[in-house]
């Protein structure tokens, strides 16, 4: 048994009549890729939003590396070592790819009450930013303004930014969505290189990616985890087949 890095117990969140998160219990072990799958509207993004502290759950607890996260804001959680990517990408669109990554590194290096030195020419920011962009396959695109980049490049950039804060846990909200076949392959390869080093909660509809990457899979339906297990266990689970895999595009 490996250590549990993220422990979620009995999480609940209602939006009016909708139970977006319904007594959700799940854990992510250090170094594992734990895929979270489920139909549209199952509550996957809402779950990540609560893990990041952007939304406050109605009930339940989240512990990260043994520490309760209750009351911590997003920035504090990021500093503890949690990073995310967004289903709808959130980047600084007027900046270059490199500036986006460099700013994330800057944030990771400590406070930014530094008023004098030019940040755009700071090698302690630019060199690691270049390395991360090269790893993400964006070496040639680093000086392009983000708003001029393709959808797939935005996804790659978000991954590079998430890694720039050297997280222990990555929350990826549909990193393959909208990617072409070769872009998906690249993304899967990039994530494979992280396997074992960084724990990943992978929200994804692309089942090829899920089967290629996941150590364990949890299935979320109407805010509830109806099954957790290895790929084989999940594929064999009658409840899952009925609720999700059977009727869907798996």
The residues binding ligand ATP (CB under 6 A) are 15, 18, 20, 38, 40-46, 87
Angle between the N-to-C axes of helices 123-135 and 151-164, in degrees from 0 to 180, rounded to the nearest 10: 130
* Distance, C-alpha 138 to centroid of its chain: 19
* Token pair of 143 as six digits: 């000086």
In contact, 24 and 51? CB cutoff 8 Å: no
Q: Judged by CB under 5 A, which of 25, 45, 228, 235 binds Mg ion?
A: 45
Total residues contacting Mg ion (rule CB under 5 A)?
3
Could you tell me the smallest distance in angstroms from the CB atom of residue 145 to another protein? 7
Q: What is the DSSP letter of 67?
A: E
Instruction: Please state, as a whole number, how many other Cβ atoms lie within 10 Å of the Cβ of residue 96.
Output: 20
Of Mg ion, another protein, ligand ATP, none, which one does residue 104 interact with (CB within 5 to 8 Å by kind)? Answer: another protein
In contact, 24 and 8? CB cutoff 8 Å: yes
Contact characters 153-192, another protein, x per CB under 8 A: --------x---x---------------------------
- Contacting residues for 245 by C-beta, under 8 A, at least 6 apart: 234, 235
Of another protein, Mg ion, ligand ATP, none, which one does residue 144 interact with (CB within 5 to 8 Å by kind)? Answer: none
| Residue owning tokens 């920011």 | 125
Of Mg ion, another protein, ligand ATP, none, which one does residue 182 interact with (CB within 5 to 8 Å by kind)? Answer: none
Give residues in contact with another protein (CB under 8 A). 52, 54, 73-76, 78-79, 83-84, 86, 90-95, 99, 103-104, 106-108, 112-120, 122, 145, 161, 165
Give residues in contact with Mg ion (CB under 5 A). 44-45, 87
């Amino acid at each position: 048994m490996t250590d549990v890095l993220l422990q979620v117990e009995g999480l609940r969140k209602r939006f009016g009549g909708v139970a977006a998160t319904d007594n959700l219990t799940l854990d992510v072990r250090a170094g594992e890729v734990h895929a979270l799958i489920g139909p549209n509207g199952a509550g996957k993004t809402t779950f990540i939003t609560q893990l990041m502290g952007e939304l406050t759950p109605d009930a339940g607890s989240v512990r990260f590396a043994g520490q309760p996260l209750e009351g911590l804001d997003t920035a504090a959680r990021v500093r503890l070592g949690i990073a995310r990517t967004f289903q709808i990408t959130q980047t600084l669109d007027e900046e270059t790819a490199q500036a986006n990554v460099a700013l994330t590194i800057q944030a990771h290096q400590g406070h930014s009450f530094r008023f004098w030195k030019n940040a755009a020419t700071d090698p302690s920011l630019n060199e690691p930013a270049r390395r991360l962009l090269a790893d993400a396959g964006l070496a040639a695109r680093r000086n392009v303004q983000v708003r001029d980049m393709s959808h797939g490049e935005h996804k790659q950039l978000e991954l590079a930014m998430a890694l720039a804060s050297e997280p222990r846990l990555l929350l990826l909200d549909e990193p393959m969505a909208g990617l072409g076949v070769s872009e998906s392959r690249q993304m899967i390869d990039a994530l494979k290189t992280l396997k074992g080093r960084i724990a990943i909660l992978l929200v994804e509809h692309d089942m090829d990616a899920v089967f290629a990457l996941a150590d364990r899979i949890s299935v979320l339906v109407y805010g509830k985890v109806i099954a957790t297990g290895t790929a084989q266990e999940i594929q064999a689970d009658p409840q899952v087949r009925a609720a999700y895999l059977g009727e869907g595009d798996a």
